[in-house]
Structure 1
Amino acid sequence: MTELEKQCKRIAILTLVLLFLYMLITWVIPKPNDLLTIHVIDVGQGDSILITTPSQQSILIDGGDPTQGQRVVSYLKRKKVKKIDVLIATHPHADHIGGLSAVMDSFEINKLYLPPVTHTSQTYENFLLKAQQHQLPIQPVKDAFSITLEDSITLHFIGPLKDYGDNLNLWSIVMKLDYGKMSFLFTGDIEKEAESDLIREYKKSFLASQFLKAPHHGSNTSSTSGFLDIVNPDIVAISAGRNNLYGHPHTEVLQRLQERAISYYRTDQQGTIVIQSDGQQIWSHQEPYFSNK
């Protein structure tokens, strides 16, 4: 083999190696714009969850209590959120909707979803007044329905399922988000009765989700054994305040998760939790608070 032939062979091998690396980077390694990202924002004893899609649509579920509004606004701005495509107030309790007044003052909002229940608290009245001031299109979630956010992402509104009287926690909007092969379940503050209603209403294969936002801050009123067995999550995120007066998350719930080898994260111990998915798998760059896998 001549020196020229050897040189051509080396160039051909190098070209193949570079082509392989290019394919690895572009096809195998998820690109940022392929990712669904879930931010369980640390708002103390409350809930606020930001979801950003691959096409940069933004969904905000709750906003913590009134003292957390600016914290949520600042977090969204740091994440380059320009507008909120879907705003969901799961139920009228202050630790879920109090901070949303500041959010409505700070961002363009395409649509606001509320459960079909009212409350007489000043915080809730202020929230409604703010929505009216900004002329937000409000849609009560009275029946189950779905919205397609983009080609491979669908958001299902699956609860509340009936009239729950004066228990506002049970009125929480429940959502299931599907992205590719992955599913994510967001539960507000539902308790045992609403969990049982979901199990009766929907097939196990539909409720099964890789990610679960623990209902009611990890309270023992919720996350029953039957519900956890049906949903069968790989990851649970618990939003609660450090040293909160309610003792959330309750030991009984943590034990149920540990018995099922479910990894869980806690905002009271770890701060804001960020989960990502490419539609094929789910991960976080943070270590779970508990994992025995």
Structure 2
Amino acid sequence: AIQPTVIYDIGFQLTVGLTLFLVLSRRLMGSVRRPWNWLLISAWAQFGTLLFLQGIEQTTISIWSPLLNLLIGSWIEWVILPGSFILAILPFLPIRSTFQIAHQYAIQWMDQALRLAEDLPLAMVAVPAFSPIVLTIVVVGTGIAWFIAERRWWGHALPLILLLTAWGYTEWRVPEQITFLDVGQGDSIVLEKAGETFVVDTGGVYQQTTHPLLRPFDPGSHIVAPFLFTRGEAEINGLIVTHADHDHVGGLLGLLRQVRVKTIYLGAYDNTDEKRNALIRSIEATGTRVEFVQKGQTIRPWLQVLAPTERKEEENDRSIILLAQIAKQRVLLTGDAGLAIEDELTIGPIDILKAGHHGSNTSTGEELLQKTNPKIVILSVGRKNRYGHPHPDVLERIGTNRIVFRTDEDGSVTCSSAGCEPMIK
């Protein structure tokens, strides 16, 4: 009861166990007028468990999971586990080696079946995070539907109607917003407007050791993708990579493994370095479309590209700079561009500025602050980072008359027309 994930694991396994019990109890099933009805009710029980605890553990579901639980669960219960027991009690018999090979094949067949299931239609569906009221209505309504389903077949339609209605309502009421994700010492920003979702950068992790980690942290798959799933997004319209530094692209492949991206945008003058070419090759290997952008282009009418203008020797100065008009706010995203690039920008007042280069002294200059005069400044930095970001000079330049949010202190920050709200209060 202390660890919610323990409740989740136990509850989910109980629903699977109940399903197996119903399948195997032939005498009990024979006494029920419509035995298949119990299987459908058990399927809804599994989905109910997923939905009720999605905010803690589960952000995606699959329509195939109840069937797979039956098949894979039965295979584990009746083949793999008994095989493991037999191997344990026959350590010295000649039959052991042959039996061990058969047991390994059984495990491989299960793994192969799961891999094939990943390619099925709707193998993974992102479920938006329902509000507590909406979630309660869905769960209670599903419970009532179970009793109806025992007598009337159309009772099974009620949970589906409730889910689709809750899903549509949640999607309909999602406001325009921009979220600065806490990915540690790196950048990742999610833009949501006009029914479309764009991601700017995917964060990264600095790793000193050359030894492979047992459970490596990947901000793309561990932070960005789960956030998108809670928004009901398993596919996004675009991913903008400002430049190829690891703290901006380190989570790229991890994100692409879980989320479909229609187009990836790269800087037009930053495609000749070997590091960038390696990045392009890794993207193209996934089959994702790549497009190069430069100053003057508009990715969307509300998303303008202000830089790059030409090839620069310094990689940070080749960063894509964006001006977004979202949630009645003018938002400037400068990547890691330096002071000289900032001074070249022709731009008026803005509402929100994402401080350049994570608060490094090489960015967010006095001239930029004067001509843009932002009301809010966002600093995307990692806690106790080795660079000492944000630099004291940058904080002094920003001043005390502006609202400042730091991801190392405030967590992820979401900005809408009502203002900016930190995750940690």
For the aligned pair, the TM-score class normalised by the smaller chain equals: 0.7 to 0.9
Match of 2:249 among 89, 92, 97: 97
Q: CA deviation at 1:82?
A: 2.4
Matched, 1:63 2:169: no
Counterpart for residue 231 of structure 2:
79
Structure-to-structure mapping, 1:24-39, within 5 angstroms: 33=173, 35-39=175-179
Counterpart for residue 257 of structure 1:
398
Matched, 1:188 2:335: yes
Counterpart for residue 324 of structure 2:
177
Matched, 1:230 2:371: yes
CA distance in 1, matches of 2:395, 2:197: 31
Counterpart for residue 191 of structure 2:
51
CA distance in 1, matches of 2:423, 2:285: 42
Give 1:44's aligned amino acid.
G
Counterpart for residue 117 of structure 1:
270
Q: Is contact 1:98–1:127 with CA below 8 Å preserved after alignment? A: no
Check 1:32–1:209 CA distance in 2 against 1; reply closer, same or farther (3 A cut).
farther
Q: Is contact 1:86–1:109 with CA below 8 Å preserved after alignment? A: yes
Q: Is contact 1:40–1:48 with CA below 8 Å preserved after alignment? A: yes
For normalisation by structure 2, the TM-score amounts to 0.53
RMSD of the alignment, in Å?
Answer: 2.2
CA distance in 1, matches of 2:333, 2:175: 18
SS at match of 2:184: coil
Match of 2:287 among 135, 140, 147: 135
Q: Is contact 1:39–1:275 with CA below 8 Å preserved after alignment? A: yes
For normalisation by structure 1, the TM-score amounts to 0.76
Listed as ranges, the gaps of 5+ residues in structure 1 are 1-30
Q: What is the identity percentage for the equivalent residue pairs of Structure 1 and Structure 2?
A: 30
CA distance in 2, matches of 1:179, 1:187: 16
Give 2:352's aligned amino acid.
F
Matched, 1:274 2:425: no
Aligned residues between the structures? 240
Listed as ranges, the gaps of 5+ residues in structure 2 are 1-170, 206-217
Match of 1:244 among 385, 388, 392: 385
Q: Is contact 1:265–1:288 with CA below 8 Å preserved after alignment? A: no
Q: Deviations along 1:165-215, whole A, 9 cap, x unmatched?
A: 1x11111000101247531111111110110111xxx2x43xx21011110
Check 1:181–1:283 CA distance in 2 against 1; reply closer, same or farther (3 A cut).
closer
Larger Rg over CA atoms: 2
CA distance in 2, matches of 1:162, 1:288: 40
Q: CA deviation at 1:245?
A: 0.8
Q: CA deviation at 1:32?
A: 6.9
SS at match of 1:246: coil
Give 1:127's aligned amino acid.
L
SS at match of 2:416: strand
Q: Is contact 1:113–1:138 with CA below 8 Å preserved after alignment? A: yes
Q: Is contact 2:338–2:356 with CA below 8 Å preserved after alignment? A: yes
Q: CA deviation at 1:132?
A: 0.8
